[in-house]
Amino acid sequence: MPLVPLLAIGLMLGPVAAGLWGTVLPAFGQMRVIGEFESPLEPFRILFNWAGLPKAVTLSITTGIGATAISLMIVSLLMAGWSGTRQFRLIERMLSPLLSVPHAAAAFGFAFLVAPSGWLSRMISPVLTGWDRPPDVLIVQDPAGLAMMLGLIIKEVPFLLLMSIAALSQSQAQSSITIAQALGYGRVTGWLKTVFPRVYHQIRLPVYVVLAYSMSVVDVALILGPNTPASLSVQIVKWMSDPDLQMRAVAAAGALIQLALVIGALAFWRITEIIAAYLGQRWITAGGRGKCDSIIGVFALFSAFVAALAIILGLLILTIWSFAGFWGFPEALPDQLTFRNWARHGPGAWQAFGETALIASVVSGIALLLSIGCLEAEHRHNVQFTRRTVWLIYLPLLVPQTAFLPGIQSLMLGIGAETGRLPVMIAHLVFVFPYVFLSLSDPYRAWDIRYATVASALGATPNRILFRIRLPMLLRPVLTAVAVGMAVSVGQYLPTLLIGGGRIETLTTEAVALASGADRRAIGVFGLMQTGAALLPFALVLIVPNILWRQRRGLRHG
């Protein structure tokens, strides 16, 4: 096997494996630096004595499975009712920007919308509600984790939708739905019975990623999740930063429980898939044509619309807060707009922006080189990537971050390694590379290979073909892959916090750190900057190829 793919797999799986090892050791009291325990199971004993454990475990399961199931349902019904229509094309166009909004910024915006003193409540008060002060109800950070689940759903719907659209293009959906409708099936029922099985087969791994992520997310949980107790992942991070080093062993034990929970949930999901497939086949052969298809279709479109609107209005309210002067409760808008907030928080935000941009650029640049190396090796050496290799690429996204990142930190502590920027970059690469690779691989493989045949018949070497023909022609997908990578890097919270030892301050760590306070103006500034840092590369993707190829009609519109 050629060198680059091996290097890429090593760089991805190495940290995951090392991190898991670094979690197992202290969890069983086997790491000297962290302290000595009377028995190897002492960390687990302390963990099981923590009164919040049952609640934290339940939260992880309900929010994870709930967010995944509801997102998948919205996406499936939306595609069933609307794919191929004008409305759907509008949604498709909004997808990339919605997708690149970092989780933390979307969660802050959502909180500012729905909180008792949030924008929605202000807009209908006091006229409709009679409230002249915020009602005393716990909407955000509710004990059942509903706000956290909704906050995850508004971000996972665009992700699953993008994956489904990619899968849809390979499945000749339109002819299937035409035939189903000719046989008298309703649109939604016909789609679910003929197209959905094929699409789901292709988006299974992304669905698993959403499940693992939603169960173990930290930044969204800190912003929208309950505090008493917090979700398991948040508690693990709290233990990791406890001044008492022994608590890291308890965190490691918690991380193993978290890992077991995710594995259990994935197994549960797989069993549900099998049952659903069995029931689905009976449903298909029963021949029902569907009764309330149009109602379901409208419901799905409405849900997707609300999800998109929640992100867009969230960004709007972040913007307003970042410029807000005095803003008393039932007022719908602040008394005055001012640049004071930006003057106060701007310099810090710009400094964090610099750190964020540096890390994101270097990491996505390396991820791009590795991806091109892998894809080019596949082309030159005819290495066929099997389904199993695709699993390898998804693996770092399936292992919960809280299960192996604490382990890396403990290992680094164990060997006395310095935390800092370089380790943070390596940790980011673990999560950035899969997305860059997945984003680039389809257009790279779809490139008409006869261009290479013609060029080599003209005497060009493989490298000349790569640099003079293939990469320039693929400029747009290459830049898109870099932008995806940068957005992923910008949004990383836990790797930056844990591997950076709290000393690497990016827009995301700074913004999430503000969650415990109530300074909405500061959050507005940092949340906007964070969104801007993730969106800017996508804007460049739209502009740069059009400038470079302004004289080349064949390349101007992708």
> What is the binding site for another protein (CB under 8 A)?
382, 448, 450-451, 453-461, 468-469, 472-473, 475, 549, 551-555
> Looking at residue 467, what DSSP letter applies?
I
Note if the bond before 243 is cis, omega within 30 degrees. no
Give yes or no for a contact between 365 and 179, defined as CB atoms under 8 angstroms apart.
Answer: no
Query: Nearer Cβ to another protein, position 182 or 458?
Result: 458
Closest to 402 in 3D by CA, of 231, 264, 268: 231
Query: Nearer Cβ to another protein, position 298 or 475?
Result: 475
Q: How far is the CB of 453 from another protein (least distance, A)?
A: 5
Q: Which residues contact 512 (CB under 8 A, 6 or more apart)?
A: 104, 219, 222, 223, 493
Strand partners, 324: 337
Query: Nearer Cβ to another protein, position 282 or 553?
Result: 553
Q: How far is the CB of 464 from another protein (least distance, A)?
A: 9
How many angstroms from the chain centroid is the CA of residue 142? 23
Give the whole-angstrom CA distance, residue 371 versus residue 475.
Answer: 14
Query: Nearer Cβ to another protein, position 46 or 383?
Result: 383
Give the whole-angstrom CA distance, residue 558 versus residue 554.
Answer: 8
Query: Nearer Cβ to another protein, position 90 or 454?
Result: 454
Query: Nearer Cβ to another protein, position 53 or 548?
Result: 548
**Residue 122 in tokens:** 């202000």
Q: How far is the CB of 6 from another protein (least distance, A)?
A: 20
Q: How far is the CB of 19 from another protein (least distance, A)?
A: 38
Q: How far is the CB of 541 from another protein (least distance, A)?
A: 16
**Phi, psi for 295 (deg, rounded to 5):** -65, -45
Query: Nearer Cβ to another protein, position 213 or 444?
Result: 444
Q: How far is the CB of 543 from another protein (least distance, A)?
A: 17
Strand partners, 337: 324
Measured at the alpha carbon of residue 401, what is the angle toward residues 399 and 406, in degrees to the nearest 5?
120
Q: How far is the CB of 450 from another protein (least distance, A)?
A: 5
Longest alpha-carbon distance in the chain: 80
Radius of gyration of the chain (CA): 25
Query: Nearer Cβ to another protein, position 400 or 477?
Result: 477
Give yes or no for a contact between 111 and 146, defined as CB atoms under 8 angstroms apart.
Answer: no
Q: How far is the CB of 94 from another protein (least distance, A)?
A: 29
Return the sign of the alpha-carbon dihedral for residues 462, 467, 468, 470: positive
Q: How far is the CB of 551 from another protein (least distance, A)?
A: 6
Query: Nearer Cβ to another protein, position 69 or 383?
Result: 383
Give yes or no for a contact between 98 and 158, defined as CB atoms under 8 angstroms apart.
Answer: yes
Which helix (H) or strand (E) element contains residue 543?
Answer: helix 520-548
> Looking at residue 101, what DSSP letter applies?
S
Q: How far is the CB of 424 from another protein (least distance, A)?
A: 36
Q: How far is the CB of 544 from another protein (least distance, A)?
A: 13
Query: Nearer Cβ to another protein, position 115 or 377?
Result: 377
Query: Nearer Cβ to another protein, position 169 or 453?
Result: 453
Query: Nearer Cβ to another protein, position 116 or 472?
Result: 472
Give yes or no for a contact between 300 and 78, defined as CB atoms under 8 angstroms apart.
Answer: yes
Q: How far is the CB of 469 from another protein (least distance, A)?
A: 6
Closest to 152 in 3D by CA, of 202, 103, 94, 102: 103
Give the whole-angstrom CA distance, residue 69 versus residue 329.
Answer: 36
Q: How far is the CB of 557 from another protein (least distance, A)?
A: 11
Q: Determine the 3-state secondary structure of 459 from DSSP.
A: coil
How many angstroms from the chain centroid is the CA of residue 66? 16
Q: Determine the 3-state secondary structure of 93 from DSSP.
A: helix
Q: How far is the CB of 376 from another protein (least distance, A)?
A: 16
Give yes or no for a contact between 526 and 532, defined as CB atoms under 8 angstroms apart.
Answer: no
Q: Which residues contact 231 (CB under 8 A, 6 or more apart)?
A: 56, 59, 60, 63, 145, 148, 221, 225
Give the whole-angstrom CA distance, residue 495 versus residue 499.
Answer: 5
Query: Nearer Cβ to another protein, position 93 or 553?
Result: 553
Give yes or no for a contact between 159 and 99, defined as CB atoms under 8 angstroms apart.
Answer: yes
**Residue 363 in tokens:** 């990491």
Query: Nearer Cβ to another protein, position 462 or 532?
Result: 462
